[in-house]
Chains A and B, each alone.
Chain A
Amino acid sequence: MNLGSFRDGHPRITLTFPSAVGNLLIEFLVDTGFGGDLAVPQSVISRLDASFIGPRDRRLADGTPLRCAMYATTVDWNGEDRATEVLVFPCEPLLGTIFLQDYLLQVEVVEGGSVEIGSLS
Protein backbone atom coordinates (compact mmCIF):
# COMPACT_ATOMS: atom_id res chain seq x y z
CA MET A 1 0.00 0.00 0.00
CA ASN A 2 1.33 3.43 -0.92
CA LEU A 3 0.13 5.45 2.01
CA GLY A 4 2.21 8.58 1.95
CA SER A 5 5.40 10.37 1.15
CA PHE A 6 8.69 11.49 2.62
CA ARG A 7 8.52 15.19 3.42
CA ASP A 8 10.40 17.66 5.60
CA GLY A 9 12.81 15.02 6.82
CA HIS A 10 10.28 12.38 7.84
CA PRO A 11 8.20 9.62 6.29
CA ARG A 12 4.50 10.40 6.58
CA ILE A 13 1.43 8.34 5.88
CA THR A 14 -2.25 9.14 5.88
CA LEU A 15 -4.71 6.87 7.66
CA THR A 16 -8.48 6.83 7.25
CA PHE A 17 -10.71 6.69 10.32
CA PRO A 18 -14.31 5.71 9.59
CA SER A 19 -17.00 7.40 11.68
CA ALA A 20 -20.74 7.94 11.65
CA VAL A 21 -20.36 11.35 10.05
CA GLY A 22 -17.84 10.36 7.43
CA ASN A 23 -14.22 9.43 6.99
CA LEU A 24 -11.52 11.38 8.78
CA LEU A 25 -8.12 11.39 7.11
CA ILE A 26 -5.15 12.14 9.34
CA GLU A 27 -1.52 12.38 8.36
CA PHE A 28 0.94 10.67 10.73
CA LEU A 29 4.68 11.00 11.06
CA VAL A 30 6.22 7.51 11.00
CA ASP A 31 8.39 7.38 14.12
CA THR A 32 10.32 4.13 14.47
CA GLY A 33 11.42 5.21 17.94
CA PHE A 34 7.84 5.33 19.18
CA GLY A 35 6.98 1.98 20.73
CA GLY A 36 3.25 2.24 20.31
CA ASP A 37 0.42 2.20 17.80
CA LEU A 38 -0.67 5.82 17.36
CA ALA A 39 -0.38 9.06 19.33
CA VAL A 40 -2.38 12.21 18.70
CA PRO A 41 -3.08 15.49 20.51
CA GLN A 42 -6.35 16.13 22.33
CA SER A 43 -7.77 18.16 19.45
CA VAL A 44 -7.55 15.12 17.19
CA ILE A 45 -8.81 12.45 19.58
CA SER A 46 -11.95 14.50 20.13
CA ARG A 47 -12.70 14.19 16.41
CA LEU A 48 -12.23 10.42 16.27
CA ASP A 49 -14.85 7.81 16.96
CA ALA A 50 -12.79 6.48 19.87
CA SER A 51 -13.62 4.79 23.17
CA PHE A 52 -11.69 5.47 26.36
CA ILE A 53 -9.71 2.49 27.66
CA GLY A 54 -7.91 3.95 30.66
CA PRO A 55 -4.59 5.38 31.79
CA ARG A 56 -1.24 4.45 30.32
CA ASP A 57 1.70 5.41 32.51
CA ARG A 58 5.04 5.88 30.81
CA ARG A 59 8.29 7.49 31.80
CA LEU A 60 10.48 10.03 30.08
CA ALA A 61 14.18 9.51 29.57
CA ASP A 62 14.90 11.89 32.46
CA GLY A 63 12.68 9.86 34.79
CA THR A 64 9.71 12.15 34.62
CA PRO A 65 6.46 10.18 34.81
CA LEU A 66 4.03 10.69 32.00
CA ARG A 67 0.40 9.69 32.13
CA CYS A 68 -1.51 9.43 28.88
CA ALA A 69 -5.15 8.74 28.21
CA MET A 70 -5.48 5.61 26.12
CA TYR A 71 -8.24 5.10 23.58
CA ALA A 72 -9.31 2.42 21.14
CA THR A 73 -10.41 3.30 17.65
CA THR A 74 -10.78 1.72 14.24
CA VAL A 75 -8.63 2.42 11.21
CA ASP A 76 -9.49 1.48 7.66
CA TRP A 77 -6.64 -0.85 6.76
CA ASN A 78 -6.61 -2.04 3.18
CA GLY A 79 -10.39 -2.11 3.15
CA GLU A 80 -10.80 -3.80 6.52
CA ASP A 81 -11.35 -2.47 10.03
CA ARG A 82 -8.29 -2.58 12.24
CA ALA A 83 -8.60 -1.98 16.00
CA THR A 84 -5.89 0.40 17.11
CA GLU A 85 -4.62 1.96 20.32
CA VAL A 86 -4.33 5.74 20.41
CA LEU A 87 -2.48 7.63 23.14
CA VAL A 88 -3.29 11.27 23.76
CA PHE A 89 -0.13 13.30 23.87
CA PRO A 90 0.63 16.88 22.83
CA CYS A 91 2.57 15.96 19.74
CA GLU A 92 1.93 15.92 16.06
CA PRO A 93 0.23 12.65 15.08
CA LEU A 94 2.75 9.80 15.38
CA LEU A 95 2.63 6.23 14.06
CA GLY A 96 4.87 3.80 15.92
CA THR A 97 6.45 0.40 15.68
CA ILE A 98 3.62 -1.60 17.21
CA PHE A 99 1.35 -0.43 14.41
CA LEU A 100 3.99 -1.58 11.91
CA GLN A 101 4.60 -4.94 13.55
CA ASP A 102 4.59 -7.85 11.07
CA TYR A 103 4.62 -5.48 8.07
CA LEU A 104 7.27 -4.25 5.67
CA LEU A 105 7.94 -0.50 5.73
CA GLN A 106 9.62 0.95 2.65
CA VAL A 107 10.65 4.59 2.47
CA GLU A 108 12.22 6.49 -0.39
CA VAL A 109 14.31 8.91 1.63
CA VAL A 110 14.10 11.82 -0.74
CA GLU A 111 11.76 14.76 -0.67
CA GLY A 112 8.49 13.58 -2.19
CA GLY A 113 9.55 9.91 -2.12
CA SER A 114 6.94 7.23 -1.56
CA VAL A 115 6.22 5.54 1.75
CA GLU A 116 4.76 2.07 1.46
CA ILE A 117 3.63 -0.52 3.94
CA GLY A 118 3.40 -4.05 2.64
CA SER A 119 3.12 -7.66 3.63
CA LEU A 120 6.18 -9.57 4.83
CA SER A 121 5.15 -12.75 3.07
Chain B
Amino acid sequence: MTAVAEEMKLKLAELPVADRAEIARFLMGSLDEPSVDSAATFHPDNLEELSKAGRAIYEERLKSQLEPELNGKVVAIHIETGDYEVGANSPSAWKSLKRRQPVGPIAVLDIGPAAEDSMTRRMLGTQFATGKIK
Protein backbone atom coordinates (compact mmCIF):
# COMPACT_ATOMS: atom_id res chain seq x y z
CA MET B 1 0.00 0.00 0.00
CA THR B 2 1.32 3.36 -0.90
CA ALA B 3 1.48 5.71 2.00
CA VAL B 4 0.20 9.15 1.21
CA ALA B 5 2.51 11.59 2.92
CA GLU B 6 0.86 14.50 4.58
CA GLU B 7 3.49 17.15 4.71
CA MET B 8 3.11 19.82 7.33
CA LYS B 9 5.46 22.71 7.66
CA LEU B 10 5.79 24.36 11.01
CA LYS B 11 7.13 27.83 11.23
CA LEU B 12 7.56 29.96 14.26
CA ALA B 13 4.61 32.11 13.34
CA GLU B 14 2.45 29.00 13.39
CA LEU B 15 3.44 27.94 16.89
CA PRO B 16 0.54 28.11 19.33
CA VAL B 17 0.25 31.23 21.40
CA ALA B 18 0.46 28.97 24.45
CA ASP B 19 4.11 28.26 23.66
CA ARG B 20 4.95 31.92 23.77
CA ALA B 21 3.12 32.31 27.06
CA GLU B 22 5.06 29.33 28.36
CA ILE B 23 8.31 30.99 27.38
CA ALA B 24 7.32 34.14 29.24
CA ARG B 25 6.32 32.23 32.39
CA PHE B 26 9.57 30.31 32.29
CA LEU B 27 11.65 33.44 31.99
CA MET B 28 9.86 35.25 34.78
CA GLY B 29 10.10 32.25 37.07
CA SER B 30 13.76 31.67 36.39
CA LEU B 31 14.68 35.25 37.07
CA ASP B 32 12.57 35.68 40.17
CA GLU B 33 13.50 32.61 42.14
CA PRO B 34 16.59 30.69 41.10
CA SER B 35 16.15 27.65 43.31
CA VAL B 36 15.94 23.95 42.62
CA ASP B 37 12.29 23.86 43.63
CA SER B 38 11.44 26.52 41.11
CA ALA B 39 13.28 24.77 38.30
CA ALA B 40 11.23 24.94 35.17
CA THR B 41 10.19 21.49 34.04
CA PHE B 42 8.67 20.51 30.72
CA HIS B 43 8.25 16.80 30.85
CA PRO B 44 6.28 13.66 31.27
CA ASP B 45 4.71 13.60 34.72
CA ASN B 46 7.50 11.69 36.44
CA LEU B 47 10.43 13.61 35.01
CA GLU B 48 11.37 15.18 38.32
CA GLU B 49 11.38 11.82 40.09
CA LEU B 50 13.51 10.33 37.35
CA SER B 51 15.92 13.21 37.59
CA LYS B 52 16.23 12.84 41.37
CA ALA B 53 16.84 9.13 41.00
CA GLY B 54 19.56 9.71 38.43
CA ARG B 55 21.14 12.40 40.56
CA ALA B 56 21.11 10.11 43.60
CA ILE B 57 22.91 7.35 41.71
CA TYR B 58 25.49 9.86 40.54
CA GLU B 59 26.12 11.33 43.97
CA GLU B 60 26.26 7.99 45.78
CA ARG B 61 28.11 5.78 43.31
CA LEU B 62 29.63 7.68 40.43
CA LYS B 63 30.81 11.09 41.53
CA SER B 64 33.89 9.81 43.34
CA GLN B 65 34.83 7.69 40.33
CA LEU B 66 34.28 10.29 37.62
CA GLU B 67 35.33 13.58 39.17
CA PRO B 68 37.55 15.41 38.59
CA GLU B 69 39.18 13.37 35.82
CA LEU B 70 36.15 13.51 33.57
CA ASN B 71 34.87 16.97 34.43
CA GLY B 72 33.28 18.61 31.44
CA LYS B 73 31.96 15.38 29.95
CA VAL B 74 28.48 13.98 30.48
CA VAL B 75 27.26 10.74 31.98
CA ALA B 76 24.16 8.82 30.95
CA ILE B 77 22.70 6.71 33.79
CA HIS B 78 20.22 3.86 33.36
CA ILE B 79 18.03 4.54 36.32
CA GLU B 80 16.74 1.01 36.90
CA THR B 81 20.16 -0.67 36.97
CA GLY B 82 22.65 2.12 37.65
CA ASP B 83 24.56 1.15 34.51
CA TYR B 84 26.20 4.19 33.00
CA GLU B 85 28.17 5.51 30.05
CA VAL B 86 30.39 8.58 29.83
CA GLY B 87 30.48 10.59 26.60
CA ALA B 88 31.66 13.86 25.13
CA ASN B 89 28.06 14.94 24.75
CA SER B 90 24.57 13.83 25.65
CA PRO B 91 23.56 12.02 22.44
CA SER B 92 26.78 10.00 22.25
CA ALA B 93 26.50 8.98 25.91
CA TRP B 94 22.90 7.77 25.94
CA LYS B 95 23.12 6.16 22.51
CA SER B 96 26.04 4.03 23.72
CA LEU B 97 24.17 3.12 26.90
CA LYS B 98 21.01 2.28 24.94
CA ARG B 99 22.89 -0.49 23.18
CA ARG B 100 23.29 -2.26 26.54
CA GLN B 101 20.11 -1.01 28.19
CA PRO B 102 17.48 -0.68 25.47
CA VAL B 103 14.55 -0.41 27.89
CA GLY B 104 13.92 2.09 30.67
CA PRO B 105 14.60 5.76 31.27
CA ILE B 106 18.08 7.25 31.14
CA ALA B 107 19.12 10.41 32.96
CA VAL B 108 21.92 12.53 31.52
CA LEU B 109 23.99 14.74 33.82
CA ASP B 110 27.04 16.93 33.41
CA ILE B 111 30.15 15.69 35.21
CA GLY B 112 31.82 18.13 37.52
CA PRO B 113 30.96 21.54 38.91
CA ALA B 114 28.10 23.32 37.22
CA ALA B 115 29.49 25.59 34.57
CA GLU B 116 27.81 28.41 32.79
CA ASP B 117 25.58 26.74 30.29
CA SER B 118 25.92 28.34 26.91
CA MET B 119 23.14 26.19 25.55
CA THR B 120 20.43 27.63 27.69
CA ARG B 121 21.87 31.11 27.64
CA ARG B 122 21.56 31.14 23.89
CA MET B 123 18.16 29.53 23.98
CA LEU B 124 16.84 32.40 26.03
CA GLY B 125 18.82 34.99 24.13
CA THR B 126 17.28 33.78 20.92
CA GLN B 127 13.85 34.59 22.22
CA PHE B 128 14.87 38.18 22.82
CA ALA B 129 16.75 38.47 19.55
CA THR B 130 13.78 37.32 17.53
CA GLY B 131 11.38 39.55 19.41
CA LYS B 132 9.38 36.72 20.87
CA ILE B 133 10.12 37.91 24.38
CA LYS B 134 10.07 41.62 25.13
Contacts and interface: CB of A to CB of B under 8 A. Distances in A.
Interface of A: 8-10, 14, 21-27, 29, 31, 33-37, 39, 41-44, 47, 52-70, 83-85, 88-94, 96, 98
Interface in B77-98: 79, 89-91, 94-95
B109 interface: yes
Contacts of A55: 43, 47-48, 50-51, 54, 105, 107-108
Closest 6 CB pairs of A and B: A33-B122, A22-B6, A54-B105, A55-B51, A22-B5, A69-B43
B91 A85 contact: yes
B39 A53 contact: no
Interface residues of B, number: 63
Contacts of A60: 30, 34, 117, 120-121, 124
Interface in B109-123: 109-110, 114-123
B74 to A, nearest CB: 9
15 contacts: A23-B6, A29-B126, A33-B125, A34-B119, A42-B19, A47-B10, A55-B51, A57-B51, A59-B114, A60-B30, A60-B117, A63-B34, A67-B39, A69-B44, A92-B15
B42 to A, nearest CB: 5
A34 B130 contact: no
A98 to B, nearest CB: 5
A89 B42 contact: yes
B5 to A, nearest CB: 4
B107 A54 contact: yes
Interface string B1-23: 00111111111100110110011
Contact of A41 (B22, B44, B121): B22
A37 to B, nearest CB: 6
B131 to A, nearest CB: 9
Nearest to A14: B9
Contacts of A22: 3-8
